[in-house]
Structure 1
Amino acid sequence: MKNFQIIRALSAASAVSNIKKEKEAMFIAGGTNLVDLMKKNVVAPDKLVDITALDLKQIEFLKGKVSIGALAKNSQVAEDKAIKEKHPLLAQALAAGASQQIRHMATVGGNMLQRTRCSYFYNTDMPCNKRVPKSGCGAIGGVNRMHAIFGASESCIAVHPSDMCVALAALDANVLVEGPKGKRQIKFTDFHRLPGNTPEKDNTLEDKELITSVEIPDNNFTKNVHYLKVRDRSSYAFALVSVAVALDLKNDKINDVRLAMGGVAHKPWRLTEAEEFLKGKTISEEIFKQAADLAMRGARGYGDNDFKLTLGANSITEALTIAASK
């Protein structure tokens, strides 16, 4: 790890002002991913702007929405009584992520910005277009058991590792940011990017922008929800496949539904076609299987991860079944 300067910001405006002065500067909060990347020499900032003193830790229930500060800890949100009651899908997804110790350090904003856990990305001796553009993708034709089956490109087949982000994509969240050009709002489903020809760009943040909060609009998904995470071991492991399901049921009929997957793409993968198919249907195993088959259309394996094509469909069916039974 190279030497770097660290300064502490006391406001969002001062944080943005300090970071825009230098090209190789980054924000740091919990540091649960950034510090690992620095130790591996995957990133090497000259300056870190510590934003932990900013007043961005609040969870506020406002008219028509909940606002969650970017510095709220993952454990704080997951254990919040009102979040559990009004947005249980988010609480479940957060509880499935990492370990309890990491959840006590990791922030909402940091969770959104975490980089892929692709082994080729972390190994600086291997080619990786995400780490070094136009150097190649070691995972294509290499060991790719954990990799994407949706939305990949010839440049990159890495996946986004977050559980929280899958739930936020399903819940139609919005991201509020502040930067040198002022404040703006981004739909959560537009926040993360597919790799295309620029896999080094994980998201749609503009240069030196700071996430200040995430907002979730009110909904009726308070009971029939489930976050299913399929992984190699029961804790502290990233998803092979995950599924976020939220159902609004009336007399066994699906009035509204949200579906998203994790561990399958460069971003949380929203299943809008399957959602539209399910609306108005009466719940049944056959209907859920049909929705799963529809959701998996266009999926492609790369060898080691071909099993995800079957696992994905089965996981969607199981998650829908569990959510509907609550």
Structure 2
Amino acid sequence: MSAELPSWNNTATKSAIVGFVNKVTQGGSPDFVPPEQRIAVFDNDGTLWAEKPAYFQLLFAIDEIKRLAPEHPEWQKEQPYAAILNEDISSLLAQGKVGIEKMVGVTHVGVEGSEFNKIVTSWLSTAKNPLTDKQYRDMVYQPMRELLDYLRGKGFKTFISSGGSADFIRVFSYDLYGIPPEQVIGSRLKLRYENTDGHPRVLTTDKVEFLNDRKGKPIGIKQVIGHRPIFVAGNSDGDLQMLEWSTTGKGARFGMLIHHTDGRREWAYDRNSSVGYLDKALLAAKTHGWTVVDMAKDWSIIFPKVKSTSSGKETQKEPALNDG
């Protein structure tokens, strides 16, 4: 077991993961699951990469609004854009869900898939988290990347189910996680088709088609995959229904919650956080027997070490593009 999941400490959590995988993949086991049914689904924010001080897609939207502001002088007096341009965080937070939807919508509306991919890729190549000064792409959780690789090596097919925009995550899902774009389930804006002078395009609108969060997560999984996963991981109350639905199916099931307990290497939070709020799901873990990952105890490292070139400069592959 020492060669598997090297960034996971040899705790009961690692033993539970390996034990489950062994019993569902070994021939002759009463819990054997054929490869075509070995489906694993992971939340993204707070589960596969960090989510402080806010969801990274929201931080992208803020930066994109600042970039586009010269083309929209009306934003100086229109919320939530005025709050962003004036660095008025309290007013921005006061906009609530409606404000967030407007912000995300304006960064997508009327944009074709390939164009949006280039915008996100450019942002990821330079943007840094304001709290850590790390690039966002360097704030993935190394133990979770190892877990994804481990599961795929055992015949699992891995998916993402996120409350964030599927289009946003698809830009980097393969490069960062080894998960191809078609295996990303997320919130969706409505699309429209147009053909101008023989140039057909599919463009986004500012209307929400599907919100892949809370009760929406099991619905999204059912719509895209067709049946319940046998391995599912999340980190907040937004993942509660996904965990409940997935782990109450027939046969062997594995539910996992990432508990942010490491205030030294990352952040320690659960019920006291507006981002990644974890309360009911943590209580439900005891009832359903889900494995709770204690980041401080179970992980030997949090973030991957960034490789350096001979010149000492950091280097990393660019996120893979899909053409939308």
- How does the TM-score come out when normalised to structure 1? 0.25
Identify, as 1 or 2, the structure richer in helix. Answer: 2
Structure with larger RCO (C-alpha < 8 A, sep 6+): 2
- How does the TM-score come out when normalised to structure 2? 0.25
Identify, as 1 or 2, the structure richer in strand. Answer: 1
